[in-house]
Amino acid sequence: MTTPTPLAYLTRTQERALALTIAVVTANAYYIHPIIGEVARAFGVGEGEIGLVPALNQLALALGILLLLPLGDFYSNRRLCLIFVAGQTLCLGGMVLAPGFVLFTAASTLLGFFTIAPYLIPAFASKRVAPERLGQVTAQLTAAVIFGILVARVGAGVIAEHADWHTVYVCAFAIMAVVTGFLPIAMRSEGTAPKRTGASYGALIASVFTLAARHPDMRLSAAMQGLNFATFTATWLALALHLTSPAMGYGTDDVGFLAGIAAVSVVTTPRLGRWADRVGPRRARIAAALVQFVGIALFYPLGFSILAVLVPLFIVNLVGPTVDVTGRMTLFTLAPDIRTRLTTSYIVTMFVGGAIGSAAGTAIYEAGGWAAACALLLAMSSAVLSLAIYAERRWRRLGDAEAA
């Protein structure tokens, strides 16, 4: 048996560079949210068709997580990150050069498939920080995801308004090219040792499904987050189409600035996470889902003013990430040797939900306008709340049965 060589700790500069990488890589999927109407008009496609771009990106991301993330048990996280980030850069180049809607969508879909770095980098970093700083670094990398989504939406809206939507992806390609160049330095770490595993790749993938079948609590958490993420994507895409429609007349920069409300999540999510530690993840999830339901119910009456719509957006962004945090907390109580594979199931379900929300939000808006889109959001939020209540009651019944 080979004795692993001790891993060198990351410097603070490397930690910040890894957080920046996560933000940039995450942002690629969200540039389209405020500019989706502009892209549709440029390619001459309808609102239902343009929804395929974010939908297929999210589906490909789910497939990539399922098929590529387990490779971390065979190869170093560093090597995989370098390959997949370079692959994303090439895909963005394809989106910039695409002459038509089909090739643009194909490049975007492949881009989603390669978006694995945000899930590999935390694992890489967790082995290379002092134990007493693990929580701090993990929180920093998690906040980078929210920051990347925020900057993508705001930046894309502003750039598209003052230049055009195509310039958004030219800038994204340039940023990714820089990240691809400095990432080998940011992830430099002495003493890395090759991983050893006795399982075949096929057996590893199969175990993701068998473990999910044996843990109904994980399936409930994954279903809730799938619906929660579907609500998230459908909200922003339908809202962008609604506000930039001829009837409303707002610009893409206005939609981009609205996305700045997500900054509240960066501040409140860690605090709500600590509160969930005190009251328990399942009770906290019910409270978050209830508050989110109230916020979504306000979208229709307040959705005809860009100032008034800030109220439901603030409420939804305040508690929406807490549904995800509390769902992941339920996984962390399970055996350490299966958490990664259960998390794989959880994340795949989340992005499948995001794909469904992307397609449904744009298609239903095209069919029935803002009222129909708001009805869809309310139905999905109601399902999250109902499942949260059921999961908490089920957990209490199991606890009472064990105590008896």
Picking from 188, 215, 246, the residue at the C-terminal end of a domain is 188
Contact status, residue 39 vs residue 108, Cβ threshold 8 Å: no
Q: Which amino acid, 342? A: L
Domain count, the chain: 2
Answer yes or no: is 4 within a domain.
Answer: no
Residues 40 and 76 occupy one common structural domain = yes
Question: What confidence score (pLDDT) does residue 1 get?
Answer: 40
Average of pLDDT values for 75-88?
88
If one compares 126 and 81, the residue with the highest pLDDT of the two is: 81
CA atoms within 13 A on the CB side of 318: 16
Answer yes or no: is 195 within a domain.
Answer: no
Question: What confidence score (pLDDT) does residue 162 get?
Answer: 87
Picking from 188, 214, 246, the residue at the C-terminal end of a domain is 188
Q: Could you tell me the two tokens for 349?
A: 């379900």
Residues 246 and 327 occupy one common structural domain = yes
- The C-alpha atoms of residue 204 and residue 73 are separated, in whole angstroms, by 9
pLDDT in tens, 271-288: 777 788 788 888 999 999
Answer yes or no: is 196 within a domain.
Answer: no
Confidence band for 203, pLDDT divided at 50, 70 and 90: confident
Residue with tokens 């910039």: 96
Question: What confidence score (pLDDT) does residue 322 get?
Answer: 83
- The C-alpha atoms of residue 55 and residue 361 are separated, in whole angstroms, by 10
Average of pLDDT values for 227-231?
95
Residues 94 and 224 occupy one common structural domain = no
Q: Could you tell me the two tokens for 300?
A: 């229709």
Answer yes or no: is 160 within a domain.
Answer: yes
Question: What separation, in Å, do the N-terminal and C-terminal C-alpha atoms of the chain show?
Answer: 46
Answer yes or no: is 3 within a domain.
Answer: no
Residues 266 and 312 occupy one common structural domain = yes
Answer yes or no: is 45 within a domain.
Answer: yes
pLDDT in tens, 37-50: 889 999 999 877 88
Residues 180 and 206 occupy one common structural domain = no
pLDDT above 70 coverage of the chain, percent: 89
Q: Answer left, alpha or beta for residue 130, where phi above 0 means left and psi between -120 and 50 means alpha.
A: beta
Residues 184 and 267 occupy one common structural domain = no
Residues 141 and 212 occupy one common structural domain = no
Answer yes or no: is 193 within a domain.
Answer: no
Answer yes or no: is 194 within a domain.
Answer: no
Range of the domain at 219: 201-404
* Domain at 296, CATH number: 1.20.1250.20
100-109, 133-142, 269-278, 394-403 — which is least confidently predicted? 133-142
Q: Could you tell me the two tokens for 79?
A: 């090597």
**Could you tell me the pTM of the whole model?**
0.76
Residues 60 and 176 occupy one common structural domain = yes
Contacts of 40 (CB under 8 A, 6+ apart): 46, 47, 49, 50
Nearest to 104 by CA among 140, 143, 56, 64: 56
* Helix axis angle, 101-113 to 77-97, nearest 10°: 170
Residues 55 and 150 occupy one common structural domain = yes
